[in-house]
């Protein structure tokens, strides 16, 4: 039986920062390990601002997570994340070189983005460019792509809920 390979991409690894999305993504990864129809691979971003550590080897922005054969960390060259546009301002080698090489090596059947914070929407675009026929799933753990108040869907002036979006507001 052919096992379908699913690559999950998350903005942090739970060993770096044990936030809700990170823990959920890894638990899903571990659950897929038990399902013999899937071959899961977990790729998480590491480095600033959540971790001050850089890659374990210079010029090697990807490394396996210690003690795992299906979890990897990817390190951007620098922390220069643009919160408004959801992208790295400079040094886009994270997408155009390192992520592309990883995607071509792994050849997933499905790519599941658990989050794009500190990774950027450009990672989705690069995934589509590199693997044009592979389905991409994107889970919104917060509403960052549509709400510039940290994705929380509350107003900055009074913290009321954004029940209705309108140009007047």
- The structure's pTM equals 0.82
Average pLDDT over the chain reads 81
Peptide linkage before 49 cis (omega within 30 of 0): yes
- CATH numbers and ranges of domains, the chain: 4-138 (3.40.50), 144-169 (no CATH)
- Biggest alpha carbon distance in the chain? 56
8-65 confidence digits (pLDDT tens) = 999 887 777 777 788 888 898 999 999 889 999 999 888 655 565 655 555 667 677 8
């Amino acid at each position: 039986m052919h096992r379908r390979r699913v690559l999950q991409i998350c903005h942090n690894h739970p060993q770096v920062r044990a936030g809700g999305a990170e823990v959920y993504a890894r638990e899903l990864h571990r659950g897929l390990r038990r399902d013999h129809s899937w071959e899961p691979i977990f790729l998480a971003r590491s480095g600033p601002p959540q971790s001050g550590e850089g890659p374990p080897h210079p010029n090697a922005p990807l490394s396996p997570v210690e003690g795992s054969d299906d979890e990897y960390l990817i390190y951007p060259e620098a922390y220069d994340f643009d919160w408004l546009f959801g992208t790295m301002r400079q040094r886009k080698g994270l997408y155009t070189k390192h992520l592309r090489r990883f995607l071509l090596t792994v050849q997933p059947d499905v790519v599941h983005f658990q989050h794009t914070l500190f990774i950027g929407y450009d990672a989705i675009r690069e995934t589509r460019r590199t693997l044009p026929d592979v389905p991409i799933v994107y889970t919104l753990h917060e509403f960052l792509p549509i709400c510039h108040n940290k994705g929380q869907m509350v107003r900055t002036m009074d913290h009321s809920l954004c029940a209705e979006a309108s140009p007047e507001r």
